[in-house]
Structure 1
Amino acid sequence: MTAHPTPPHRSGFISFVGRPNAGKSTLTNALVGEKIAIISDKPQTTRRAIRGIVNRDDAQIVIVDTPGVHRPRTLLGERLNDVVTHTLAEVDLIGFCLPANEKIGPGDRYIARSLRDSTKAPVIAIVTKTDLGKPKQIAEALLRVQTLQEDLGREFAEIIPVSAAADFQVDTLCSIIAGRLPEGPKLFLDGERTDESQQSLIEEFIREAALEEAREELPHSIAVSVSEMLPRDDSDVIDVHATLYVERSSQKPILLGHRGSRIKHIGTTARKQIESRLNMRIYLHLHISVLAEWQRDPKKIDRLGL
């Protein structure tokens, strides 16, 4: 009986791009199998390239979730777009996320033209959020996506509808990605899901809780920095000291809430996420500080690690 040769192992990087709130982070989390990227329906939720790792028998996929591409109004916005540009120059494959429940817009065409000019990597069109549309709407969305190929300057390598929320075709997408990566060895150890540090993940979970709590008042003005992580003697509890930065003094009481109710709720929500995702017991010490107009100041942005 003839033995079939073992298929070659594949490994490489795919970057998810798209307008803000196109479902990139939700899809990243679904493919990785755990939460590594925070989620909000507000623009600029993702502020840096976050790498998630999918380990399969036949491939290791490194997903680079990038900030949503948008017309920048601040220095921070310009830097977020720069993160996307630099990431696209280094990946093997691109996943262009386009929500099924939204029409193709100028922002999508701008991204397609940017991809045409900046990279020759194959592009998979991923029609996201199909759980929010009826079959007819999804079919129409798939047809609309094809019109972007003129702006892209080439055909999409694949066009696939998915829903991370409903787990629709997520495994199929994973197989498509794996099959299009170059042959190569594993780039990370088995079991690794992300190269993000514990500190970075903690900062992101705190920021997610703050965004959810102050979603209407302060969506872009919040930044978080962990200053200390101190294990307690004779205990498995870690004391985490973190500062939430706002841009103006008038924003501080908004984040604090009546008699500290809002910051307390932020801490409770973040602690549960951190303990669940990182399998560690913590006590959060949260502070609020004003860092005036930090989104427009390069030194302050650098200080925050953005």
Structure 2
Amino acid sequence: MVKAESLGTGAALLSSIQEWLRHGRQCGERIGGHACSSLAGKTDEEALEKAVGIHARAASFEFDSDTFLASALVSFYAKCGSIRDAWKVFQKVRLHDAVSWTVMILGLAESGQGVLSLQLFHRMRAQGYKTDAPTFVAALKASSSVGALEPLKGIQADISRCGLEDDPVVANGVVDGYGKAGAAAKAQLVFESLEKPDAVAWTSVIAAHSRDGDTRMPWRACPPSEALLQGDEYGVRPGAEHYHCMVDALGRANELEEAVEMVEAMPCEASGVAWRTVLGACKKWKNAAVGRLAFDRLVEVEARHEAGYLLMEAIYASSGMREEQAQV
């Protein structure tokens, strides 16, 4: 059975479409699996243009309503930013399954249509379709994008009824959802129920407390540097966005030296975003020493970005260092 998470973009997704074309479909040779494979490695814009052509040929043989092919096309269109085309394909499917529902729910959620995504999720549930972990993850993303508490409570109740509350990826989504809905205490409770929180869970719970004004709460159990080193059985590893979140939370807590250490520990080259985050925290706490260090690092990667210079001037001004301010 094809799983929703296997329907991605680029080579993996288009290889799936090619596989569909090869296995017992009359239109396989006529549509041309080679055309699908030719999309691999191209940019989203280039691949989208070619995919539209392949879709048109599939439609001419009335195979675009096949559940698997339609699910792949929905996923591809959504991830390329063409949510209208994704919706048109979804509507033509004669017999939906959990995958086709999930990719459409996820596509809407990731396209900024959280309300519509949640409506589709509830429609799926009302029609009696079985929901699995990927479906709940998609619904949780929709709930997080809306930032409303009540829909999240309902989804969490459904998750418990389905016995998926211990699934790490689902639990991470619940933690993130409660954090973005302003319910840091509930996010903390779910976080504490996890047997082995991964980097995503730590990032979500720290962000939740940071939004709530308490940046120190989750770190009493585990230092942030250790939290980011923790992967999980799903192979999730912290990316730049996780580090940025940690740096922001450290800055809010006036742990500026540790924020700098966090930026310097990033597995990739630190971007201007990371150093501007530190610089903004230094402005808040009037720390000219760390601010100057962050400013120098920022200039190395973004010499022409005006915001950094303005922040550094403001830091010197608030510290009464007029001479240094004039030299920025």
Please, what TM-score do these two structures have when normalized by structure 1?
0.26
Hey, which of these two has a bigger chunk of helix by percent?
2
Please, what TM-score do these two structures have when normalized by structure 2?
0.24
Structure with the bigger RCO (C-alpha within 8 Å, sep 6+) is 1
Hey, which of these two has a bigger chunk of strand by percent?
1
